[in-house]
């Protein structure tokens, strides 16, 4: 997958694109009637807004993202070793976000759990699949089964937790720090910090946050305090191996390595508040891992400590 996989995932954060904008069609397809407690206003608003996002996102990919690349016969690309698998973690993240939002939107509108999982929880896989198909139709990319598997994992992570725990007990998050390298992992010179967050795999760390009181059964541990396990990689200046130069700019020899991290985290959804606005703000932060002290174990055989890890 290309370095913009996270950009694509964010563009395609669509909630209920499986249904048409027709309220009757949506109710028929989901098998729901107004008497079952459906908030039609919330449901139809979600359908309209998220379908518009999806249509706009796919148009962006079709007419802007791929515009400088030639069409090619449909082809495959085995990129499972690319960027030390950081892009695969990114695919899991994108599909997880889409499925999580799709499911929560339907549940918030009063849709029962089963249909919400079917029509909302599967969105990560459904929305990411056209992107993989597009990749298979353009030079420089290719349809990746590894990406499809990662997308499936992200979707199943949402559905599986609801079936097992009746809750999103484990949270999958992203943190982005300032990479010490002047070039991004893909060899680009990226000055804008926001752009680096999406284009530089050296800057990204993916986290799995687990409620600490589920690991250590002590009642005094607050429900919002999590233990977080992270994965990242660094020293990358190329897809499979480091390049020696970029547009005539020498790249200093750097060793690629994996990072395994242990840190703490906050589950914002577990913080109680009577303010609807504050609750909305906290819920919107569910996919972000904020800075905390951390310990790193890496493939170089080194252990590092951080007062604050971004």
Residues 112, 23: Cα–Cα separation, whole Å: 17
135-189: per-residue pLDDT in tens? 999 888 899 999 999 999 999 999 999 999 999 999 999 999 877 666 666 666 6
Residue 239 has pLDDT above 50, yes or no: yes
The predicted model gives 264-293 an average pLDDT of 90
Residue 3 has pLDDT above 80, yes or no: no
Band (pLDDT 50/70/90 cuts) for residue 75 is very high
Residue 7: predicted pLDDT: 47
Residue (of 136, 98, 112, 135) closest to 18 by Cα position = 98
Angle, alpha carbons 302-306-310 (nearest 5°):
110
DSSP string, the chain: --TTHHHHHHHT--S-TTS-S-HHHHHHHHT--GGG---HHHHHHHHHHHHHHHHHHHHHIIIIITTTS-B----B---TTGGGGHHHHHHHHHHHHHHHHHHHHHHHTT--HHHHHHHTTTHHHHHHHHHHHHHTTBTT--B-HHHHHHHHHHHHHHHHHHHHHSS--SEEEEEE---SSSB-TTS-B---HHHHHHH-GGGEEEEEEEEHHHHS--TTS-TTEEEEEEEEEES--SSSS--SEETTEE------EEEEEEEEEE-GGG---S-HHHHHHHHHTTTBPPPEEEEEEETTS-EEEEEEE-
Residue 49 has pLDDT above 80, yes or no: no
Residue 13 has pLDDT above 90, yes or no: no
Average pLDDT score, the chain = 82
Residue 92: predicted pLDDT: 96
**Which residue reads 């353009």 in tokens?**
138
Residues 31, 52: Cα–Cα separation, whole Å: 23
Residue 19: predicted pLDDT: 35
Residue 52: predicted pLDDT: 75
DSSP string, 181-210: SSB-TTS-B---HHHHHHH-GGGEEEEEEE
Band (pLDDT 50/70/90 cuts) for residue 47 is confident
Contacts by 278-283 with C-beta closer than 8 Å and gap 24+? none
């Amino acid at each position: 997958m290309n370095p913009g996989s996270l950009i694509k995932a964010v563009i395609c954060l669509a909630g209920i694109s499986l249904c048409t904008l027709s309220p009757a069609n949506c109710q028929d397809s989901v098998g729901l009637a107004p008497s079952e407690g459906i908030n039609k206003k919330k449901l139809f608003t979600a359908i309209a807004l998220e379908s518009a996002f999806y249509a706009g996102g796919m148009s962006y990919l079709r007419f802007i993202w791929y515009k400088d690349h030639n069409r090619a016969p449909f082809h495959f690309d085995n990129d499972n070793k690319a960027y030390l698998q950081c892009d695969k973690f990114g695919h899991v993240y994108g599909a997880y976000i889409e499925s999580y939002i799709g499911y929560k939107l339907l549940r918030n509108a009063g849709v029962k759990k089963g249909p919400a999982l079917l029509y909302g929880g599967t969105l990560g896989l459904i929305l990411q699949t056209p992107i993989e198909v597009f990749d298979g139709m353009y030079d420089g990319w290719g349809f990746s089964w590894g990406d499809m598997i990662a997308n499936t994992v992200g979707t199943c992570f949402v559905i599986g937790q609801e079936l097992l725990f009746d809750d999103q007990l484990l949270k999958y998050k992203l943190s982005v720090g300032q990479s010490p390298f002047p070039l991004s992992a893909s060899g680009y010179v990226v000055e804008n910090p926001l752009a680096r967050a999406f284009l530089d795999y050296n800057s990204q760390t993916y986290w799995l946050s687990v409620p600490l009181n589920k690991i250590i059964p002590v009642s005094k541990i607050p429900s919002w305090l999590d233990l977080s396990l992270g994965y990242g990689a660094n020293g990358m200046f190329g897809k499979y191996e480091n390049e020696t130069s970029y547009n005539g700019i020498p790249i200093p020899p750097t060793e690629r390595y994996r990072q395994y991290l242990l840190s703490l985290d906050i589950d914002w959804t577990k913080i109680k508040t009577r303010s609807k606005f504050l609750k909305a703000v906290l819920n919107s932060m569910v996919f972000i891992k904020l800075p905390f002290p951390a310990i790193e174990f890496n493939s170089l055989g080194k252990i590092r400590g951080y007062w604050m890890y971004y």
